[in-house]
C-alpha cells in the first residue's frame, strides 16, 4: 500500500515530542520534593518501567486491525496500584470490527474480560469507561476448559459481549488466589475477517502512537502520582471501602469492592490490620509504595490472598505490617517503605468488612494477637518465601 508519509515523522516532530515528555517527567520527579537515594532509584526505575508498559499499551500492541494480547503490567512493570494476584492483558479494539478471543481458560480463581472506552494515556479516571464485560463464571467452556468469545458485531448465541461506538481496548484480568496451584490461561485474539500477512506499519500510525506514548508518560504518569498523593494525605493507618459499582464503571473489575488506605510503620513498630473476611469469591490485601507500585511481591510477602492467609479461630484476618519479620504467618512486609498505600480487594462479597488498624511497639505485638497465633521461624519463613517466589515467576514466564 502506498504510504504518502507523515511530516511528524519526516521532520522528527513526533519522536522529539515523545523524548521531551520523557525528559519533563524526570525533571518533575526531582522537583517533587527531597528524595532519598532509595527514592531516587525507585523513582527513575518506575519511570523506565512505566515507559515499558506504555510501549505495550500505546505502540507495540496497539493496532486494532491486528491485535495481539500484550502484558499490560507484571512483576517487573508495576503501575497504577496493580494487584500482585493478577495477570493483566491488553488488546486494542475498533468499534467497527468484530473480534474473537479464544483458547484455554486456565484455572485462575477469577477471570474478567472487559471492553473499555478511552485510554489511560488521557490522564483522567473518568476518561476510561467500561462498556461491557463477562466473567469466567459466565463464560461457556467445554469439558477441557476451552472457549471462544466474540467481541462486538451483531449479537449472537453463546459467548458474546458488545463493544459500542467508542470502544477503545480490551482488558483481560486473571486473578489468582492459590498462586502455587492455579495456572494462567492460554489466550489469543484475532480480528474476524483480517487479511494475512500483516502489512508494514504506516507512518501516520506510528506518529499517532508516539504522540499517544508521550501522553501516557506525561498525563498518565501525573494521574497515578496524584492518586498516590491523595491516598498518602489520608490519616495514617486508615482505610476507606469503595463500592463495586464505583470502580466497575471505570475499568475496575466488575463486582469488586476496593478498600484503599494509608499505612505508616517505623522500624521497631507493628501495625495490625484486621477484618473478618465476608463471604466472597476472592479477597486479597496488598501494600504499595509512594509511586503507586505494588511492593515487590515475589521475594517479599507484601501481599496475601484468602488462600495464603491464616484466619484466627474467631474468623478474623490479622495482618501484621512490620519492617522486621514478626514471626507470624500473616506478615505484610513493606520492604523498607515507612509509608505507602494499603489496598484490600473483595470480589462478589455479600458485605463490606469493617477494617481496623492498631499501631504498637513491636514488643507488644503478641499481646494483640490470639494466643494460638503460630510462630514462624526464620527457616520456615525462607521456605515459604521460596515457594512464593517460584509461584510468582511461573505465572509470568510466558
- CATH node for 235-395: 2.60.40
Q: Domain spans of the chain?
A: 7-227, 235-395
pTM exceeding 0.85? yes
Helices and strands per DSSP (H, E), number in the chain = 8, 18
Contacts of 349 (CB under 8 A, 6+ apart): 257, 278, 279, 280, 281, 283
- In this structure, are residues 104 and 145 in contact, taking their beta carbons and an 8 Å threshold? yes
d(CA 27, CA 397): 34
pLDDT at 174: 98
Residues facing residue 261 across a β-bridge: 239, 342
Per-residue pLDDT tens listing for the chain (398 residues):
689 999 999 999 999 999 999 999 999 999 887 889 999 999 999 999 999 999 999 999 999 999 999 999 999 999 999 999 999 999 999 999 999 999 999 999 999 999 999 999 999 999 999 999 999 999 999 999 999 999 999 999 999 999 999 999 999 999 999 999 999 999 999 999 999 999 999 999 999 999 999 999 999 999 999 999 999 999 999 999 988 777 778 888 999 999 999 999 999 999 999 999 999 999 999 999 999 999 999 999 999 999 999 999 999 999 999 999 999 999 999 999 999 999 999 999 999 899 999 999 999 999 999 999 999 999 999 999 999 999 999 999 86
Query: Cell digits for 314?
Result: 474467631
What the block records as the C-alpha cell of 280 is 466472597
The answer to whether 328 touches 369, Cβ cutoff 8 Å, is: yes
Burial class (CB in 10 A: 0-12, 13-18, 19+), 314: exposed
| Local structure of 100: helix, strand or coil | strand
How do 317-321 and 331-332 pair as beta strands? parallel
* CB of 174 closer than 8 Å to CB of 108: yes
Confidence at residue 17, expressed as pLDDT on a 0 to 100 scale: 97
Q: What is the pLDDT of residue 242?
A: 85
Under 8 Å between Cβ of 198 and 36: no
Count of positions (residues) in the chain: 398
- 178/314 Cα distance (integer angstroms): 23
Cα gap 235→233, rounded to integer Å: 7
pLDDT of residue 398: 62
What's residue 215's pLDDT? Answer: 98
Q: 274: alpha, beta or left, given left = phi > 0 and alpha = psi -120 to 50?
A: beta
Cα–Cα distance measured from residue 295 to residue 301, given in angstroms and rounded to the nearest whole number: 9
**Structure confidence at residue 22 (pLDDT):** 97
d(Cα 92, Cα 113) in Å, to the nearest integer?
A: 13
Amino acid at each position: 500500500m502506498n504510504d504518502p508519509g507523515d511530516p511528524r515523522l519526516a521532520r522528527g516532530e513526533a519522536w522529539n515530542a515523545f523524548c521531551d515528555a520523557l525528559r519533563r517527567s524526570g525533571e518533575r520527579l526531582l522537583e517533587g520534593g527531597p528524595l532519598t537515594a532509595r527514592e531516587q532509584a525507585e523513582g527513575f526505575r518506575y519511570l523506565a518501567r512505566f515507559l515499558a508498559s506504555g510501549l505495550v499499551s500505546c505502540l507495540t500492541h496497539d493496532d486494532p486491525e491486528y491485535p495481539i494480547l500484550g502484558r499490560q503490567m507484571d512483576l517487573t512493570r508495576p503501575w497504577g496500584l496493580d494487584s500482585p494476584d493478577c495477570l493483566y492483558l491488553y488488546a486494542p479494539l475498533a468499534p467497527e470490527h468484530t473480534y474473537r478471543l479464544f483458547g484455554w481458560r486456565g484455572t485462575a480463581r477469577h477471570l474478567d474480560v472487559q471492553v473499555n472506552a478511552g485510554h489511560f494515556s488521557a490522564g483522567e479516571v473518568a476518561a476510561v469507561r467500561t462498556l461491557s464485560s463477562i466473567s469466567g463464571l459466565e463464560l461457556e467452556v467445554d469439558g477441557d476448559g476451552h472457549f471462544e468469545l466474540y467481541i462486538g458485531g451483531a449479537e449472537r448465541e453463546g459467548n458474546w459481549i458488545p463493544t459500542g461506538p467508542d470502544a477503545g481496548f480490551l482488558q483481560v484480568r486473571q486473578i489468582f488466589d492459590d498462586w502455587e496451584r492455579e495456572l494462567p490461561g492460554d489466550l489469543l485474539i484475532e480480528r474476524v475477517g483480517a487479511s494475512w500477512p500483516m502489512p508494514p506499519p504506516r507512518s501516520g500510525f506510528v506518529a499517532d502512537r508516539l504522540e499517544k506514548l508521550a501522553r501516557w508518560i506525561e498525563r498518565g504518569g501525573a494521574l497515578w502520582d496524584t492518586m498516590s498523593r491523595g491516598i498518602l494525605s489520608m490519616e495514617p493507618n486508615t482505610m476507606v471501602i469503595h463500592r463495586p459499582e464505583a470502580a466497575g464503571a471505570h475499568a475496575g473489575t466488575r463486582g469488586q469492592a476496593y478498600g484503599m488506605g494509608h499505612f505508616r510503620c517505623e522500624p521497631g513498630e507493628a501495625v495490625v490490620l484486621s477484618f473478618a473476611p465476608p463471604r466472597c469469591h476472592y479477597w486479597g490485601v496488598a501494600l504499595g509504595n509512594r509511586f503507586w507500585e505494588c511492593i515487590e511481591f515475589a521475594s517479599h510477602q507484601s501481599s496475601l490472598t484468602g488462600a495464603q492467609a491464616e484466619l484466627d479461630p474467631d474468623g478474623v484476618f490479622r495482618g501484621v505490617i512490620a519492617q522486621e519479620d514478626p514471626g507470624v504467618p500473616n506478615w505484610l512486609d513493606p520492604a523498607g517503605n515507612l509509608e505507602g498505600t494499603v489496598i484490600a480487594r473483595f470480589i462478589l462479597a455479600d458485605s463490606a468488612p469493617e477494617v481496623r488498624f492498631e499501631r504498637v511497639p513491636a514488643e507488644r505485638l503478641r499481646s494483640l494477637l490470639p494466643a494460638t497465633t503460630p510462630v514462624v521461624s526464620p527457616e520456615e519463613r525462607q521456605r515459604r518465601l521460596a515457594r512464593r517466589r517460584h509461584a510468582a515467576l511461573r505465572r509470568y514466564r510466558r
